[in-house]
């Protein structure tokens, strides 16, 4: 193995974001986290690595193939967290005596999935999300859905939509038709992937009365009327309870004014095996991937702690939101105006004064960079400045201590220059001159 | 009708696929297929749909990433690519089989007679690897992009895994099919987000395809 060839590479599917992009991502993160906190959600931090056996309790075996695994010195199998819900559930379950329910937590964290190399998807990516633990009613479902919509809305994104379903609807139908566990597994796998060819071929080989009900499921998507169609189709308590739940959610979401953002999809079952109730996914045209996903998981904490604690949560893909905003040509950040303070390399005094002045300016929130006068691109004479690009991104003003007594202030966009005596009262006078 | 971006498979499937889409009203009838196949992308002003012509193997890539809303390609290609999109309908054209074939003179008549560490030439490395792994046979896979039947002739490989519809090419090269891996036909695949954003159009397309299938 020639290691040298890897020196400049990030590991496959991992990415370094340089400031231009990182700033946009940070800004989005702040906007969304601020909104989470308006709803009373507080941040939670969990370890980047977890024990495999701990995650498997929560996530089942399904995800194991996509995990980054390694072994610690004691021989335990560790994994890089592939999502945040199970780690949060585990952490809360481990400290139930320290929290009071209902608990609202939020996170922005990187998660790791070993996606197939050709998928063109990142293997490390950033998720923002919330978990609402200890609340099991439709109002909590609506809270999660509304918060997801509102958070996307606050980033400036337009033209997005959430599909809402309920795993209880399909589970009710499956019980009604008394399918075996194997049939249930296969049918759910086909529906999850929307492999309608596979589903129809599979159903054609089954001798089961009423199986045409299952063929109808992929068609049950649309506005709220879909719930009525579902009600006519299913003749069991579980499915009807799921529909009652969805109707309440609809009522709350519509009442909040977000009716335009939701669609019902009774065939929606999300990949994770811990979901027990309402599930939802958000997407926007022009981006081939989901923006967000979430749902209710009422038994996950019980798997860890033995105590039943209903919960719901969702995660938003930070990088995907940024891509969607780019697609919609939305500006993501207003760059903060910066100033540069220049010193002479052969004059220690001028550098000292630069530090002093910078401190005063920064105390008022001005962004100040300190640099040598010989910095490429910071030509000093205004005549030379004409028509040349501004040096250093976002720097609009250069300040320079000429002979240690006068401060020259130059607007880098216009090249206009003025000067100010650097006398004892400079700390007051400086603001008039900037 | 709304506007979909549809990825069509260039080559042997193209004509029958275009016919099916014409019948379903998703390509206007007077569009000339010869003229279409000379372009990479074109817009059908009458139906509002756009079409991009891609190699069958690339169709899943366009669809997966949402560059095309829907696409048509073979089940063999879908399985080789791995499924990260929705497969909604079987168009029942372009039927073929993926088979294991050996040179006649080797005298091998079944999978169990394949010597260990045989070299298998194929343009379906993923399916081939999974297949032999499931059967518990260790083989070395040689990935070729085409004319796979050439490999045994020049002793690059001991056997091949390739698609065949009539078996003529295999026979011409004195290759004997000894096992079927899968049966394939063209499928309609859909990007998972387009499925939602263009749900009505796609539902309409599915309904018409089903109707026309029944009539055939």
- Are residues B58 and B68 part of one domain? yes
Subunit contact A193:B193, Cβ cutoff 8 A: no
Contact between A368 and A362 under an 8 Å Cβ cutoff? The reply is: yes
Subunit contact B203:A198, Cβ cutoff 8 A: no
pLDDT of A121 > 80? The answer is: no
Q: What angle do CA A109, A113, A118 make, to 5 degrees?
A: 130
Give residue-wise pLDDT tens across range A75-102.
999 999 999 999 999 999 999 999 999 9
Cβ–Cβ pairs < 8 A, chains A and B: 63
- Are residues B72 and B49 part of one domain? yes
Chain A nearest C-alpha distance from B175 (Å)? 31
Chain A nearest C-alpha distance from B73 (Å)? 14
- Are residues B193 and B153 part of one domain? no
pLDDT for res A225: 94
How many Cα atoms sit within 13 Å of B61 on the Cβ side? 13
Subunit contact A193:B83, Cβ cutoff 8 A: yes
Subunit contact B197:A198, Cβ cutoff 8 A: no
Per-residue confidence of chain B (216 residues) as pLDDT tens digits?
A: 458 999 999 988 888 999 999 999 998 888 877 777 788 888 888 888 999 999 999 999 999 988 999 999 999 999 998 878 999 999 999 999 999 999 999 888 899 999 989 999 999 999 999 999 999 999 999 999 989 999 999 999 999 999 998 889 999 999 999 999 999 999 999 998 999 889 989 999 999 998 887 776
Q: pLDDT-based confidence at A252, cuts 50/70/90?
A: very high
- Are residues B82 and B16 part of one domain? yes
- Are residues B155 and B192 part of one domain? no
Mean pLDDT confidence for A104-126: 84
Contacts of A261 (CB under 8 A, 6+ apart): A149, A160, A161, A162, A253
pLDDT for res A22: 92
Contacts of A169 (CB under 8 A, 6+ apart): A230, A234, A238, A239, A242, A243, A266
Higher pLDDT pick, A336 / B117: B117
Subunit contact B87:A283, Cβ cutoff 8 A: no
* Chain A residues touching B214 at Cβ < 8 A: none
pLDDT for res A404: 67
- Are residues B191 and B86 part of one domain? yes
Q: What structural domains does chain A harbor?
A: 12-327 (3.30.930.10), 338-433 (3.40.50.800)
Chain A nearest C-alpha distance from B89 (Å)? 5
* Chain A residues touching B190 at Cβ < 8 A: 194
pLDDT for res B211: 85
Subunit contact B86:A219, Cβ cutoff 8 A: no
pLDDT of A333 > 80? The answer is: no
- Are residues B83 and B189 part of one domain? yes
* Chain A residues touching B207 at Cβ < 8 A: none
Q: How many angstroms from the chain centroid is the CA of residue B31?
A: 24
Within B13-75, strands assigned E span 41-43, 50-54, 70-74
Residue B57, judged by CB atoms within 10 A of its CB (0-12, 13-18, 19+), counts as middle
- Are residues B129 and B55 part of one domain? no
Chain B nearest C-alpha distance from A192 (Å)? 9
Structural domain total, chain B: 2
Residue B13's nearest CA partner among B68, B78, B64 is B78
- Dihedral sign computed on CA atoms, order B166, B170, B176, B178: negative
Subunit contact A194:B65, Cβ cutoff 8 A: no
Beta bridge partners of B99: B162, B180
- Taking CA–CA distances from A265, the nearest residue in chain B reads B196
Q: What is the CATH number of the domain that holds B46?
A: 3.40.190.10
Of B65, B90, B203, the CB nearest to A288: B65
Q: Which residues of A touch B (CB under 8 A)?
A: 116, 118-120, 161, 163, 193-198, 219, 221-222, 263, 265, 283-290
- Are residues B161 and B103 part of one domain? yes
A-interface mutation test, from B58, B60, B76, B84, most A Cβ less than 10 A away: B84
Within A55-182, strands assigned E span 69-71, 77-80, 103-112, 124-133, 160-166
Higher pLDDT pick, A50 / A60: A50
pLDDT of A426 > 90? The answer is: no
CA B161 – CA A24 distance, rounded (Å): 49
Q: pLDDT-based confidence at A391, cuts 50/70/90?
A: low
Q: Which of A26-35, A115-124, A141-150, B69-78 has the lowest mean pLDDT?
A: A115-124
- Are residues B51 and B114 part of one domain? no
Give residue-wise pLDDT tens across range A262-310.
999 999 988 767 899 999 999 998 788 889 999 999 999 999 999 999 9
B-interface mutation test, from A120, A194, A282, most B Cβ less than 10 A away: A194
- Taking CA–CA distances from B68, the nearest residue in chain A reads A288
* Chain A residues touching B206 at Cβ < 8 A: 196
Question: What is the percentage of chain A residues whose pLDDT exceeds 70?
Answer: 92
Tokens of B36: 């279409």
B168: containing domain: 96-183
pLDDT for res B139: 93
- Taking CA–CA distances from A192, the nearest residue in chain B reads B86
Chain A nearest C-alpha distance from B107 (Å)? 37
- Are residues B27 and B38 part of one domain? yes
- Are residues B119 and B133 part of one domain? yes
Residue A105's nearest CA partner among A121, A117, A88, A119 is A88
């Amino acid at each position: 193995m020639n290691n040298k060839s890897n020196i400049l590479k990030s590991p496959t599917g991992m990415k370094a974001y340089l400031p231009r992009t990182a700033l946009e991502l940070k800004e989005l993160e702040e906007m969304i986290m601020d909104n989470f906190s308006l709803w009373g959600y507080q941040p939670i931090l969990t370890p980047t690595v977890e024990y495999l056996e701990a995650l498997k309790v929560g996530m089942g075996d399904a995800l194991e193939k996509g995990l980054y695994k390694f072994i610690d010195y004691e021989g335990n199998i560790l994994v890089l967290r592939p999502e945040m819900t199970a780690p949060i559930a585990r952490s809360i379950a481990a400290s139930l005596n320290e929290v009071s329910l209902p608990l609202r937590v939020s996170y922005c964290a990187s998660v790791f999935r070993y996606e197939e190399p050709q998928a063109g998807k990142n293997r490390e990516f950033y998720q923002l999300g919330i978990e609402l633990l200890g609340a099991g009613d439709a109002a909590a479902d609506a809270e999660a859905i509304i918060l997801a919509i509102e958070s996307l809305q606050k980033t400036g994104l337009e033209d997005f939509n959430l599909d809402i379903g309920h795993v209880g609807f399909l589970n009710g139908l499956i019980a009604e038709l008394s399918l075996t566990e194997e049939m249930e597994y296969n049918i759910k796998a086909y529906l999850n992937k929307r492999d309608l060819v596979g589903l129809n071929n599979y159903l054609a080989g089954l001798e089961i009365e009423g199986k045409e009900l299952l063929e109808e499921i992929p068609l049950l998507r649309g506005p709220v009327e879909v719930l009525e169609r579902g009600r006519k189709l299913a003749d069991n308590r579980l499915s009807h309870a799921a529909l009652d739940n969805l109707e309440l959610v609809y009522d709350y979401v519509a009442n909040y004014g977000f009716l335009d953002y939701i669609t019902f999809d009774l065939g929606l079952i999300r990949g994770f095996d811990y979901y027990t109730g309402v599930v939802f996914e958000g997407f926007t045209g022009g981006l081939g991937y989901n923006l967000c996903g979430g749902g209710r998981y009422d038994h996950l904490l019980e798997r860890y702690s033995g105590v039943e604690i209903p919960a719901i949560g969702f995660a938003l893909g930070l990088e995907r939101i940024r891509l969607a905003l780019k697609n919609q040509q939305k500006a993501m950040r207003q760059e903060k105006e910066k100033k540069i303070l220049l010193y002479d390399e052969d004059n220690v005094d001028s550098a000292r004064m630069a530090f002093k002045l910078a401190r005063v300016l920064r105390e008022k929130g001005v962004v100040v960079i300190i640099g040598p006068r010989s910095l490429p691109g910071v030509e000093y004479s205004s005549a030379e400045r004409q028509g040349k690009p501004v040096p250093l991104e976002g720097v609009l003003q250069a300040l320079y201590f000429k002979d240690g007594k006068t401060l020259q202030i130059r607007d880098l966009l216009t090249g206009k220059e003025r000067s100010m005596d650097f006398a004892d009262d400079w700390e007051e006078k400086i603001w008039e001159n900037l | 009708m709304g506007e979909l971006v549809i990825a069509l498979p260039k080559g042997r499937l193209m004509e029958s696929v275009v016919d099916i889409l014409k019948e379903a009203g998703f390509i206007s009838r007077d569009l000339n297929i010869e003229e279409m196949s000379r372009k990479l992308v074109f817009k059908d002003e009458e139906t509002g749909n756009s079409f991009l012509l891609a190699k069958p193997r690339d169709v899943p890539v366009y669809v997966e990433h949402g560059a095309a809303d829907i696409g048509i390609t073979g089940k063999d290609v879908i399985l080789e690519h791995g499924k990260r999109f929705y497969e909604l309908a079987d168009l029942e054209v372009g039927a073929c089989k993926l088979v294991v074939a050996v040179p006649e003179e080797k005298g091998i008549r079944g999978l169990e007679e394949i010597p260990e560490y045989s070299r298998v030439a194929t343009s379906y490395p993923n399916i081939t690897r999974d297949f032999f792994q499931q059967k518990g046979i260790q083989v070395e896979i040689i990935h070729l992009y085409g004319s796979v039947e050439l490999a045994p002739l020049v002793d690059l490989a001991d056997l091949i895994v390739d698609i065949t519809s009539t078996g003529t090419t295999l026979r011409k090269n004195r290759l004997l099919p000894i096992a079927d891996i899968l049966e394939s036909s063209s499928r309609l695949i859909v990007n998972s987000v387009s499925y939602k954003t263009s749900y009505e159009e796609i539902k309409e397309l599915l309904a018409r395809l089903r109707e026309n299938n029944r009539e055939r």
